[in-house]
Amino acid sequence: KKKDSEATAIPLTEIGKFSSKRIIRAVAAVKLSVVKEDKSVLKDLVDLLEIRKAVETVHNTSRVRAHPSRIIMKIEGMEMNVTFKKLKKMVHVQTLEKMKKNLEQPPPENTLEQVALSTITARIEEIENKLTQKRVEEAAKRKAEQKLINARAKKPRKD
């Protein structure tokens, strides 16, 4: 199991299986680590969170009679009028992508969507590497500081 602080290292398809609580934490982690100009990763997570919240609301209210049978959701700028049944299936990102493709014409190879996804994936990997590098550097720094403290403690003081 990966920690939520390492959420940037998790592929989007995996994040699709998270609960909204974990997505919120992932969003927070991404907010902290993503460079200001790169909002696409964050946007995807936020969109995913909206979807998850909607799905969870549907699950929670499914026994209640007065539930909205259709829910309008914005996915990547597209307004989708989603049926109640369909929304329950929208837990995974793959399902969402399939739905989106069905809404559009059958896409040719290497669509913009795939390019965007690979860009995001590459960006996430880049962030992951930076974070890992930072962690390694911080660990080395702490180790060096501890060595120094230990060395000082061992040396008998000359007054």
d(CA 11, CA 111): 19
**Could you tell me where the DSSP H helices lie in the chain?**
12-15, 20-33, 40-61, 84-89, 93-103, 112-154
d(CA 23, CA 45): 7
**pTM, 2 dp:** 0.26
One digit per residue, the tens of pLDDT, for the chain of length 159 reads 444 444 445 555 565 566 666 666 666 665 555 544 455 666 666 666 666 666 665 555 544 443 444 444 444 455 555 555 555 555 555 656 666 666 555 445 556 666 677 777 777 778 888 888 889 999 999 999 989 888 888 766 666
- Give the pLDDT of residue 136: 92
